[in-house]
Amino acid sequence: MSSRAQQRDRDHRNRAISVLSNRTASATASSDAGSEARPTVAVVIPTCNEESNIGRCLDSILNTAYPLALLDIVVVDGMSTDRSRSIVERYQAACPSIRMIDNTQVAKSAGLNLGIRDTSSDIIMRVDTHSTYDPSYIPVLVDGLDKYQCDNIGAVRRTARPESGVAARAICAMISHPFAAGRSPWRVGTSSALEVDTVYCGCYRREVFDRVGLFDERLIRTQDRELNQRLIDAGGTIVLTPDTSCTYYPRAEVGAYARWTYDGAYWVFYARSLSQSSRVSLKNMAPLVLLGSHLLMAVSALGGLCCGKQSTAFRKALWLSAMASGTYWVANVIVSIRSGLSQKSPTMAVSMVWAFAITHFAYAIGSLVGLVRGYIRRQPNGS
C-alpha cells in the first residue's frame, strides 16, 4: 500500500474516532435515559467498491442523534476490490456498533436481504453510500413510523452542489429539477408529510418483510420500488416526511451518470417481465415519447426524400414529429436559461441543456431496450 493510501486510511479511522469521541457523553446519557423506551434499529448499508463514499456515509451515521447503543450498523460488502473493506474495518475498530458481512452475490438486493436476515433489530433502515444523513434522520424516521402509523417512511433527498466542474454542477443542479425528476416529492422536496408510492432508501417496520417478503434478488435496480409496490398492494402505507433530510452525491462524470440513468430506466421496464409488482407510470413513459418523436422525424424526413413531394403521409408525420421535438427543445432551453440565471452563470445555462438531454435520452434508450428485452423474455421461447 502506498504512503498516500496509508495516510487516507489513518484519516478515515481518525474521523471515526473523532466522531465517536464527540458523541461519547451525549450517547451515554441518551442510552441510559431513553434506550429502554426506543426500538433497536438495523442500518443496512449494501456496498461494493465505494472507497470514495463509504467513510463519508459512516461519519454521518455515527453523528446521529439516536442512541448508538440501539444501532446495529451492518455494512454488507459485495466483495469490493478497492479499499472499501479496509476503510470499514478501521471504523469497526473504533465503533462496536459497526460490523461487516460478505455478499458473495454482489447484487444490492441480495446484500439487503443478507443484512435483514442477519439482524434481529425492530426497525430496518436501508442506507445508500452515495448519501450522508442529517443527525435527526434516524430518530425522525423511527419516531415517524408511530407518528404517522405507517409501514415505511422516508425523507427528502437533497442533492449536493459541487464547488467546481461545470459538468458536475450541471448534473447536480439538474437531477432534482422537476424537468428531470418530474413530481417525485422525495427528489424535488415537500413542505408537508405525504402518503407516497415510494421513498428514497426507506425505514421499515421489521414485520413488513414477514408480510410481503424480502427484496427481489432478480432485480439489479428498482428493488426498492418493487418492494414498496408489494407493500402498497398488501394494504401498507408509505409516508414521506419533510422533517429531516439526507444529502445525495450523484455520479458527476458524464459517462458514469449516463450509464446510471440508462440502467435505472432499463430495470424499470425490464422488471415487469420478472415481477407483477413492478409498475410503470406515465412519467416513466414520457422519455419514450420524446425518443419516438425524434425517430419519427428522422424516418419521415428520409421517407419524404425517397418518395418525393407526392408523399403526403410523410409530410404530415414530419410536421407533427418536428412540432413535438421542437417543443421539447424550446422547453429545455427555457428551463436551462432560468436555472442558469438563478445561479448567475451563463455557462451553467448551456450545460443544463445537454444535462437534461443526456438524462432524457439515456432514460429513453434504457426504457426501450428494457421494454423490448422484457417482451422477448415473456414469450414462450424467451429465457
pLDDT tens sequence across 40-54: 999 999 999 999 999
Q: Rounded mean pLDDT of 141-167?
A: 92
- How far, in Å, CA of 74 to CA of 84, rounded? 14
Q: How high is the pLDDT of residue 315?
A: 78
Least confident range of 76-80, 99-103, 201-205, 337-341 = 337-341
Domain assignments of the chain as residue spans, ordered by start:
3-252, 282-378
The one-letter amino acid at 360 = H
Decide: 24 and 101 in contact? Cβ < 8 Å. no
Q: Any idea which residue has 402509523 for its cell?
A: 149
Cell output for 353 = 441543456
Q: How high is the pLDDT of residue 29?
A: 44
For residue 231, give every residue at least 6 positions away whose Cβ sits within 8 Å of its Cβ, in sequence order, or none: 151, 152, 208, 211, 212, 238
- How far, in Å, CA of 164 to CA of 162, rounded? 6
The 8-class DSSP code of residue 136 comes to T
Residue 194 phi, psi (nearest 5):
-130, 145
Identify the architecture of domain 3-252 in CATH.
Alpha-Beta Complex (3.90)
What's the pLDDT tens digit per position in 260-293? 999 999 999 999 888 887 778 888 999 999 999 9
Q: Please report which confidence band the pLDDT of residue 310 belongs to, taking 50, 70 and 90 as the band edges.
A: low
24 versus 197: which is more confidently predicted?
197
For residue 306, give every residue at least 6 positions away whose Cβ sits within 8 Å of its Cβ, in sequence order, or none: none
What's the pLDDT tens digit per position in 201-224? 999 999 999 999 999 999 999 999
pLDDT at 21 over 60: no
Q: Please report which confidence band the pLDDT of residue 25 belongs to, taking 50, 70 and 90 as the band edges.
A: very low
